[in-house]
Amino acid sequence: MRNRLSKTIQEIPPSGIRKYFDLASTMENVISLGVGEPDFVTPWSIREASISTMERGYTTYTSNSGLPELRYEIGKYLAESFQVHYDDKKEMIITVGASEAIDIALRAILDPGDEVLIIEPCYVSYEPTVKLAGGVPVSVTTDMSTKFKITADILREKITSKSKAIIFCYPNNPTGATMSKEDWLPIIDLIKEHDLLVLSDEIYGELSYDQHHFSAASLPGMKDRTILISGFSKAFAMTGWRIGYACGPEDIIQAMLKIHQYTMLCAPIMGQWAAVEALRNGQKAKDDMVASYRQRRNYVSKMFNQIGLECLVPEGAFYAFPSITATGLTSDQFAEQLIKEAQVAVVPGHVFGIGGEGHIRCSYATSMENLEKAIERMGKFVEQYK
Amino acid sequence: MKKEKVIEMLTLLEQNGRHSYDKLAMMLDLPEEEVKQTIAELEKDKVILRYPTLIDWDKIQGNDLVTAMIDVKVTPQRDVGFDEIAERIYRFPEVKSVYLMSGAYDLSVTIEGKTIKEVAFFVSQKLSTLDTVVSTATHFILKTYKHDGVVFNPRDDDRRMVVTP
Ligand SMILES: Cc1ncc(COP(=O)(O)O)c(C=O)c1O
């Protein structure tokens, strides 16, 4: 029989996380630090607002680019919070999560063979979505020595005449790294010099613990080459609602809209109304969640260092990314043995790119009680390798 | 300690009075000694009054209690206003709380007793008979759903998948 699957899809390896999901699902008494979503449920006022719109019969399609009310609120919010200004009629599209926004942005800009620089370690979807869009992913590896920030030197090395775009995420999943205005300046120069398009995944922007999030799109000359991608999953604990958005130059957003209208039609209306409520009245709930993540961040980063796993203080998102090199294990060995011997689930760093090897990602979006227990178990586990 | 940190620490303690000094210090990113000292001062200044435990007594058989909330109208007195009558009321050990209220009545009083009869006796014999008390309206609590921000029978388990990207 002919091969039923396309070459493209055959070349994409299965997810490295699957194995840990399967392991953790079959074991009892597992504490999971492997969850990439908030441990809060969506604040009640947001849930309640959505229920009430459903009761009133808002169960239809919306316009392809999303509810005008939601686009208006997002425009206002981005301008007030991050000093980036978008025309909510032409430069914005509501998507099914940031996930869809990443996908259609890449499909809108890539021709076969175009190279996309991916700043790693990073979220697992970038590389496959680049490949699915016909592009060629090029890893740009950051490490602990630069606190997982991009530097001009490492970036310059990977730029070629085929480089079309760069994709990054700050605050970062899995490292928790952030970029300040000063960090961006030399990078921005390079980006402009080589005429790169930018996909800036800012989904963790609100979860910045020391400094207010700085959007690269707000720097002079950047707005016209940047697709800002974000969503409601993380800041408002709304992962299941599937609402994200992309903002950027009109030509690119309109091209994305073309793909979106034929493949997705629109994002779910219930989620869109929930998102409207989140932006109108969800600030206090969000701030409370951020304060709680910050406390846990402080706690876990200190504790990892205490038990002998060197760990930077993550400046954003809800992950700690301690080094495990002191144990002599690979990240896969560490994660597998840890779950089998100590019943703690973490995600090995290598699944987030080659540069993630030597680290494990520990989500602290879980209760303090779980964190204390997990770290105690990990401390004992690490002890045997000293 | 900075004021914001004091507030953050008090909020943490309000949720869980059993946090140890070293854990609080780590969560707040402060030296342990400073946390210890500040808590001691807050205790001394009666900002922190007690570290109580929230108990769902309905789940404990044989220790049934009835609680009533009583709206009390009083005649305020010259110079002392409501303070003196409030004190006369809160000195009774049966009284769990006393608040001065705006609106239709003056004091909101919570009473706890073993039986309805016991509470009724207190209201008719002790409370209503106070000179400045004009009227009372007693409401018995039938069931506690949420108290001090805590839901008594929560149904929000962790519904997340165990490992996600
Ligand atoms: C960096 C990053 N980008 C995007 C997403 C996907 O978000 P959404 O739920 O909006 O699709 C995630 C989710 O884990 C993420 O970590």
**From residue B95, how far is each of B16, B46, B90, B127 by CA, in Å?**
25, 20, 6, 10
Q: Is B156 on the interface with A (CB under 8 A)?
A: yes
Q: Considering CB atoms only, which of A21, A25, A291 is closest to B8?
A: A291
For residue A372, what pLDDT is reported? 97
Angle (CA) B81-B95-B42 rounded to 5° is 80
Residues A28-54: pLDDT tens digits? 999 999 999 999 999 999 999 999 999
Cβ proximity of A24 and A30 under 8 Å? yes
Answer yes or no: is pLDDT of B80 > 90.
no
Q: What is the mean pLDDT of residues A73-97?
A: 98
CA of A39 from ligand 1 middle (Å) equals 15
Please list the alpha-helical segments (H only) found in A83-151.
97-109, 126-132
Q: Do A299 and B27 touch (CB under 8 A)?
A: yes
CATH of A44-282, one of 2.90.10.10, 3.90.1300.10, 3.40.640.10, 3.40.50.1360: 3.40.640.10
Q: Is B8 on the interface with A (CB under 8 A)?
A: yes
- Band (pLDDT 50/70/90 cuts) for residue A122 is very high
Q: Is A40 on the interface with B (CB under 8 A)?
A: no
Q: Considering CB atoms only, which of A34, A125, A368 is closest to B162?
A: A34
Q: What is the mean pLDDT of chain B?
A: 94
- Band (pLDDT 50/70/90 cuts) for residue A206 is very high
Q: Which residues of chain A does B26 touch, with a Cβ-Cβ cutoff of 8 Å? A: 298-299, 302-303
Cβ proximity of A26 and A258 under 8 Å? no
Residue A174, preceding bond cis, omega within 30 degrees? yes
Q: Which residues of chain A does B165 touch, with a Cβ-Cβ cutoff of 8 Å? A: 15, 17, 36, 123-125, 173, 347
Å between A366 CA and nearest CA of chain B? 9
Answer yes or no: is pLDDT of B156 > 80.
no
Which amino acid makes up residue B93? P
What whole-number distance in Å separates Cα of residue A198 and Cα of residue A166? 5
Q: What is the mean pLDDT of residues B141-165?
A: 91
Answer yes or no: is pLDDT of A333 > 90.
yes
- Band (pLDDT 50/70/90 cuts) for residue A189 is very high
- Band (pLDDT 50/70/90 cuts) for residue A209 is very high
Q: What is the mean pLDDT of residues A128-154?
A: 97
- Band (pLDDT 50/70/90 cuts) for residue A82 is very high
CA of A374 from ligand 1 middle (Å) equals 25
Q: Which residues of chain A does B158 touch, with a Cβ-Cβ cutoff of 8 Å? A: 39
Which is it for strands B133-140 and A347-348: parallel, antiparallel or unpaired? unpaired
For residue A2, what pLDDT is reported? 81
Cβ proximity of A178 and A55 under 8 Å? no
Which is it for strands A197-201 and A163-169: parallel, antiparallel or unpaired? parallel
For residue B71, what pLDDT is reported? 98
Q: Considering CB atoms only, which of A37, A295, A303 is closest to B164?
A: A37
Q: Is B157 on the interface with A (CB under 8 A)?
A: no
Q: Which residues of chain B does A368 touch, with a Cβ-Cβ cutoff of 8 Å? A: 23, 27
Q: Do B27 and A295 touch (CB under 8 A)?
A: yes
Å between A118 CA and nearest CA of chain B? 17
The secondary element (H helix, E strand) that includes residue A331 is: helix A331-342
Å between A250 CA and nearest CA of chain B? 31
CA of A216 from ligand 1 middle (Å) equals 18
Q: What is the mean pLDDT of chain A?
A: 97
What whole-number distance in Å separates Cα of residue A330 and Cα of residue A337? 11
Q: Cβ contacts of residue A44 below 8 Å, gap of 6+? A: none
Q: What is the mean pLDDT of residues A150-165?
A: 97
**Structural domain spans, chain A:** 7-42+284-381, 44-282
What whole-number distance in Å separates Cα of residue A128 and Cα of residue B137? 69
CATH of B3-44, one of 3.40.50, 1.25.40, 1.10.3470, 1.10.10: 1.10.10
- Residue B82 class from Cβ within 10 Å (0-12 exposed, 13-18 middle, 19+ buried)? middle
Quick one: chain B helix, strand, coil %, rounded to 5? 35, 20, 45
For residue A63, what pLDDT is reported? 97
**Structural domain spans, chain B:** 3-44, 60-144
Output the residue whose Cα is nearest ligand 1's atom 2: A123
The secondary element (H helix, E strand) that includes residue B96 is: strand B95-100
Å between A69 CA and nearest CA of chain B? 30
Residue of B nearest to A302 (CA): B26
Q: Do A21 and B29 touch (CB under 8 A)?
A: no
Please identify which residue in the block is written with the tokens 């007195």: B77
CATH of A7-42+284-381, one of 1.10.630.10, 3.20.20.140, 3.90.1150.10, 3.10.440.10: 3.90.1150.10
For residue A76, what pLDDT is reported? 98
Residues A235-276: pLDDT tens digits? 999 999 999 999 999 999 999 999 999 999 999 999 999 999
CATH top-level class of B60-144: alpha beta
Q: In DSSP terms, which residues pair with A217 in a beta bridge? A: none
For residue B154, what pLDDT is reported? 87
The secondary structure of A233-299 as a DSSP string is TTTTT-GGG--EEEE--HHHHHHHHHHHHHHT-S--HHHHHHHHHHHHH-HHHHHHHHHHHHHHHHH
pTM of the model: 0.95
Are B3-44 and B60-144 in the same CATH fold? no
Q: Considering CB atoms only, which of A24, A39, A123 is closest to B165?
A: A123
Answer yes or no: is pLDDT of A66 > 90.
yes
- Band (pLDDT 50/70/90 cuts) for residue B82 is very high
For residue B78, what pLDDT is reported? 86
Answer yes or no: is pLDDT of A15 > 90.
no
Cβ proximity of A237 and A42 under 8 Å? yes
Answer yes or no: is pLDDT of B79 > 90.
no
What whole-number distance in Å separates Cα of residue A362 and Cα of residue B78? 64
Cβ proximity of A149 and A179 under 8 Å? yes
Q: Cβ contacts of residue A115 below 8 Å, gap of 6+? A: A135, A136, A137, A138, A160, A162, A163, A164
